[in-house]
Amino acid sequence: MKQVYLTHLCKYPSLCIPDEDLHGASHFLQGKKMAYQKVNADQRAPGHSQYLDNDDLQATALDLEWDMEKELEEPGFDQFQLDSAEIQNLENPETTDLNLDSIQPATSPKGRFQRLQEESDYVTRYTRSAPKSNPCNFCRLLKILCTAIILFISGILIGYYAHKKCPSNATSSATLDLQLYQEILETIQAEDIKESFRNLVQLYKSEDDTEISKKIKTHWTALGLEDVQFVNYSVLLNLPGPGASSVTLSSSGQCLHPSGRPCSEEARTHGGQDLLYSYAAYSAKGALEAGVIDVSYGNADDLKRIQKMKNTTNQIALLKLGKWPLLYKLSLLEKAGFGGVLLYVDPCDLPKTANLSYDAFMVSLNPGGDPSTPGYPSVDGSFRQNRANLTSLLVQPVSASLVAKLISSPNSRTKTGVCSPLELPNNDERIVNMQVQTVTKFKTITNVIGYLKGLTSPDRYIIVGSQHHTAPSSYGQEWASSTAVITAFIRALMLGVKKGWRPHRTIVFCSWGGTAFGNIGSYEWGEDFKKVLQRNAVAYVSLHSPIRGNSSLHSMASPSLRQLVIEKSHFNCSRKAKCQESNVSSVQIPGDADYFINHLGVPTVEFTYEDVKTLEGPSFLSEALFPKRTAKIEEMDPFFNLHETITKLTGEVILQIANEPVLPFNALDVALEVQNSLKGDQPNTQLLALASRLRESAELFQSDEMRPANDPKERIPIRVRMLNDILQDMEKNFLVQQVPPGFYRNILYHLDEKTSQFATLLGARERCKLLASNETLQEALSEVLNSINSAQVYFKAGLDVFESVLVGKN
């Protein structure tokens, strides 16, 4: 068998050993007994060769012969012929007994190594090219390798296209959510809102808010909202007295009601209950006869100028509403020694279309909540403080027509249409007798609260708030608009729930009572659940007064929510042929958002339609509550298309906040807002440096944590929860303790759109004009500095927590 195998091998010159090599090998083997033989002998079992004398090797030889003959039949091998000399050499008897082991490459590295070591002159005496490996084995390995590579590449391509055609679960889920959002919002129709509005107005004449609250609760429950309940609080209200307040001109003895009409039964009945409700809630009551001093808007410059000319002690100030918070201006007048205030709105500050000359109005001097329980909820057993009035001033709102009679100016507008502001000459003296009649009594305020429980984060709350009518008050057509909008969104949302959808976070729907008296319902509920809300409240969405005009969409948002609001506003405008660009700002707003912004630091958003002229005029005119009648609301929005737009726009924001895995809050926008608020005529180097560090920390937080979390492939649940907790609480760092009356404690909000500086610093600089020292300003600067530093430490600590989590996992 050995001879046959060798003959088979020598059919191929590349595998045969030349004659001279065989001859040399024979001579070498005969002359010396090599250790090579000994090594092979040691490796073989006695009488057997594990390489040649087994059936596997014989089968291999036959296979090798078959494969090589097939290769020779291929084109290119036609001229290949065996050399006869080589065949003869192999048939020579001298080589017949040659052990193939002596010329076969050593299969064991150990055997080859020992052969070279034991015969050092082997290489010099027996030189030949290195033995070549079997080409068929090489071919087979090459084929296997090529097949493996092809399969590997094919697998990659199949996986790539399969991934491309079949999106990830996160992408698929996001797409389904967007489709469901659109389905929910498409069910919101103007006609439904209009019908709901008119049904609510029918309850307007109710003596108390019980009927309205019951109607809202019944309706929400019928729509499928979960756990709808009443939350009642017994609170101290300041109400009109049995008779209307009046102002009597001493020079003529003419008695006028706040509207400017004479004090007669006919005039009183003509004005209806509006005369009774033209008052300042929580004002001091009584009578005062004194001279009238025109203080214009009542800012520090006005008072400083007047105090140089006149004695203001126990006099009556003629004060215009606007430009500064009313409570702030009243605090300045109180310190200046005034005894009473006649408050009015200058017609030049109102749009030309607003004919409110004979309309008196109501204001509330209550900064928020039940005055008898300041800072704590009005629950059974709570200590009640005796606070019937919140100021020592007698405050009476009056109409522009009364002021015109007082200063003997019949028309504020000239023939050319140019408005001339109402103004009492400094040299003129006017003495009036003002009587303020109010009563205080405890009354139950009702909030209606309903829940839509979240699926994955039920302990995180998005709070949506509207207001409902609270009697006795005639200021109430806005509440019907507010309630109709929130009810329309609940109806649409519950249709999605019936299809099996549910938001990730809980949505809490609230209809507040007592809003006109100082946001009493929302304050009491917030104080009652303060500990829970501090930990779990994510955002507040306000529907306080959605329709104030019909010419411009106005958006108010916390700095952290500004990007989301801009995105939704632009998307809304792209769907309509005519849509003015939305104006997004962070400014003080009226309504029940107050507690959530100033005491909880919760990011807030509100959409309203306004008149452009109103936005261009002085701020804080909204503090005057004029009686808006049903006809007025329907004149501004006859087809309720604006109501529909507000509902859909607000709904989109609610759905995204409630359902996005990562809260759509922007940390960097908060830092940018801080830097912008420090720009001004008097920059503070220390504050600017600290704001710069805050921006760096926010940028790092945004890039290192927020961007990866927004990528579904890199999203880790525990890190997302930690990230959301940081985003949810970041605005709490900007709550300060001491602010002027009427100013927001959250310094991220400006006084109005015309000012960009921190409101608390503006107020402190105003006060410094009346004081000899700048101590108030230094205190305000310290408050701002501590807030910015707190925010910078907060972001840095958040980054450190994330880094420690990564290190712990690694």
CA distances for 474 relative to 276, 279, 315, 363, 635, angstroms: 9, 12, 31, 12, 19
- pLDDT at residue 50 greater than cutoff 60: no
Distance CA 681, CA 756 (A): 12
| Of 674, 676, 525, residue with least CA distance to 594 | 525
Mean pLDDT to the nearest integer, 179-199: 92
In this prediction, residue 29 carries a pLDDT of 37
In this prediction, residue 713 carries a pLDDT of 72
- Of 261 and 631, more confident: 261
Distance CA 317, CA 396 (A): 11
In this prediction, residue 72 carries a pLDDT of 41
Mean pLDDT to the nearest integer, 271-297: 86
- Of 580 and 92, more confident: 580
Q: pLDDT grade, residue 317 (50/70/90)?
A: very high
- pLDDT at residue 681 greater than cutoff 50: yes
Q: Tell how far CA 803 is from the center of its chain.
A: 24
- pLDDT at residue 64 greater than cutoff 70: no
Count of alpha carbons within 13 angstroms of residue 79, beta-carbon side: 1
Per residue in 564-583, pLDDT (tens digit) is 999 888 766 645 534 555 57
**Where would I find the H helices in 187-310?**
190-201, 210-223, 265-271, 300-309
The single-letter DSSP state of residue 706 is I
Cβ contact 249:514 at 8 Å: no
Share above pLDDT 90 across residues of the chain, in percent, rounded to a whole number: 51
- Mark 344-372 as b/e (b = at least 16 C-beta within 10 Å): bbbbbbbbeebebbebbbbbbbbbbbbbb
| Of 280, 293, 257, 307, residue with least CA distance to 431 | 293
Per residue in 506-549, pLDDT (tens digit) is 999 999 999 999 999 999 999 999 999 999 999 999 999 999 88
Cβ contact 346:315 at 8 Å: no
Distance CA 752, CA 400 (A): 24
Count of alpha carbons within 13 angstroms of residue 542, beta-carbon side: 29
- pLDDT at residue 62 greater than cutoff 60: no
- pLDDT at residue 744 greater than cutoff 90: yes
**Where would I find the H helices in 377-519?**
400-406, 477-498
- Of 57 and 136, more confident: 136
In this prediction, residue 627 carries a pLDDT of 74
Cβ contact 394:388 at 8 Å: no
Helical pair 685-701 and 667-677, crossing angle rounded to 10 deg: 170
In this prediction, residue 81 carries a pLDDT of 40
| Of 512, 758, 487, 753, residue with least CA distance to 610 | 753
Q: pLDDT grade, residue 11 (50/70/90)?
A: very low
Mean pLDDT to the nearest integer, 605-633: 83
In this predicted structure, which of 113-117, 322-326, 487-491, 676-680 has the lowest mean pLDDT?
113-117
Distance CA 510, CA 521 (A): 10
Distance CA 680, CA 169 (A): 50
Q: pLDDT grade, residue 148 (50/70/90)?
A: confident
Cβ contact 805:719 at 8 Å: yes
Distance CA 405, CA 249 (A): 9
- φ, ψ of residue 296 to 5 degrees: the values are 55, -125
What residue has token string 């230094």? 778
Structure tokens at 470: 């609270």
Task: For residue 613, give every residue at least 6 positions away whose Cβ sits within 8 Å of its Cβ, in sequence order, or none.
Answer: 350, 351, 352, 353
Residue at 637: amino acid letter:
D
Q: Tell how far CA 186 is from the center of its chain.
A: 23
Distance CA 320, CA 258 (A): 15
In this prediction, residue 784 carries a pLDDT of 95
In this prediction, residue 61 carries a pLDDT of 40
- pLDDT at residue 711 greater than cutoff 90: no
Task: For residue 664, give every residue at least 6 positions away whose Cβ sits within 8 Å of its Cβ, in sequence order, or none.
Answer: 561, 563, 564, 656, 657
Distance CA 197, CA 469 (A): 13
242 burial type by CB count under 10 A (0-12 exposed, 13-18 middle, 19+ buried): exposed
The single-letter DSSP state of residue 705 is I
- Omega of the bond leading into 638 within 30 degrees of 0 (cis): no
Task: For residue 401, give every residue at least 6 positions away whose Cβ sits within 8 Å of its Cβ, in sequence order, or none.
Answer: 259, 260, 357, 358
CA distances for 497 relative to 178, 226, 430, 483, 659, angstroms: 15, 11, 65, 21, 13
Distance CA 281, CA 452 (A): 36
Structure tokens at 41: 């002998």
Mean pLDDT to the nearest integer, 409-415: 55
Structure tokens at 450: 């309903």
Task: Concatenate the DSSP letters of all residues of 422-435 into one string.
Answer: ----TT---EEEEE
Task: Concatenate the DSSP letters of all residues of 356-369 into one string.
Answer: -TT---BEE---SS
In this prediction, residue 125 carries a pLDDT of 40
In this prediction, residue 420 carries a pLDDT of 87
Distance CA 198, CA 630 (A): 9
Residue at 160: amino acid letter:
Y
The single-letter DSSP state of residue 575 is T
Distance CA 159, CA 297 (A): 72
- pLDDT at residue 17 greater than cutoff 50: no
Task: For residue 191, give every residue at least 6 positions away whose Cβ sits within 8 Å of its Cβ, in sequence order, or none.
Answer: 640
- pLDDT at residue 164 greater than cutoff 70: no
Cα dihedral 589, 592, 596, 598 in deg (nearest 10): 50
Distance CA 469, CA 481 (A): 11
Distance CA 381, CA 375 (A): 15
Distance CA 365, CA 283 (A): 7
Distance CA 702, CA 795 (A): 10
> How many H-runs (helices) and E-runs (strands) does the chain carry?
29, 17
In this prediction, residue 419 carries a pLDDT of 83
Mean pLDDT to the nearest integer, 713-718: 78
Structure tokens at 326: 């009313």
Which helix (H) or strand (E) covers residue 443, if one does? strand 438-452
Distance CA 635, CA 645 (A): 17
Task: For residue 16, give every residue at least 6 positions away whose Cβ sits within 8 Å of its Cβ, in sequence order, or none.
Answer: 9, 10, 86, 90
- Of 29 and 172, more confident: 172
Distance CA 540, CA 606 (A): 9
Partners of 532 in the β-ladder: none
Across the beta sheet with 438-452, the strand order is 226-240, 438-452, 505-512, 457-467, 537-542, 604-610, 552-557, 583-585
Distance CA 320, CA 326 (A): 9
Average pLDDT over the chain, rounded to whole?
Answer: 79
**Where would I find the H helices in 702-758?**
707-710, 717-729
Judged by DSSP in three states, 179 sits in helix
Q: Tell how far CA 204 is from the center of its chain.
A: 36
Distance CA 208, CA 441 (A): 14
Mean pLDDT to the nearest integer, 270-278: 63
151 burial type by CB count under 10 A (0-12 exposed, 13-18 middle, 19+ buried): exposed
184 burial type by CB count under 10 A (0-12 exposed, 13-18 middle, 19+ buried): buried
Q: How far apart are the first and last CA of the chain?
A: 64
Q: pLDDT grade, residue 168 (50/70/90)?
A: very low
- pLDDT at residue 810 greater than cutoff 90: no
Phi-psi region at 694: left, alpha or beta (left = phi > 0; alpha = psi -120 to 50): alpha
Task: For residue 440, give every residue at least 6 positions away whose Cβ sits within 8 Å of its Cβ, in sequence order, or none.
Answer: 236, 237, 238, 239, 388
Judged by DSSP in three states, 468 sits in coil
Q: pLDDT grade, residue 176 (50/70/90)?
A: low
